[in-house]
Every structure is written in C-alpha cells, then in structure tokens.
Amino acid sequence: EEKEKLTELLKKEKLLDQFLLLDTRALGTAVAKEKLKKGTAKKLKKFGEEKETKGVRLVKK
C-alpha cells in the first residue's frame, strides 16, 4: 500500500526513473503504519544513495 503511494508520488514528481522501490516488508522489516506526509516529495529530492521510509526502501539507480 505504501509502495503504491510512493510510486504515485514519484511519478508525479517525475523521479520514478531515478529510484528502485523495494518493499522492506518482503525483507522481514517491521513497519509502522504511517500515512505519507506532504513533505515526502521534498525529502525524496534530498535522498542519498539509499533511504527507507514507511516500509519501502528507495534505492537510487
């Protein structure tokens, strides 16, 4: 669910092609259920090589 939200957000921000989205729940990571905040787009632009947010890890290609 969070992965879909992030995917949509990245499409909207035209950043989707820059990141690989990996669902960390598939890796056994416990996830807190949080809604995406409005500041997420700004945070995405500041990402380094790898960032984890709400159970979805974004890895810069």
Would you state the pLDDT for residue 58?
64
The predicted pLDDT at position 8 comes to 77
Q: How many domains does the chain have?
A: 1
Domain of residue 6 covers 2-60
Cβ atoms 25, 54 nearer than 8 A = no
Would you state the pLDDT for residue 4?
80
What confidence tens digit (pLDDT) does each residue in 13-38 have? 776 666 656 555 544 333 333 334 44
pLDDT at residue 46 in the model: 52
Q: What is the pTM of this model?
A: 0.32
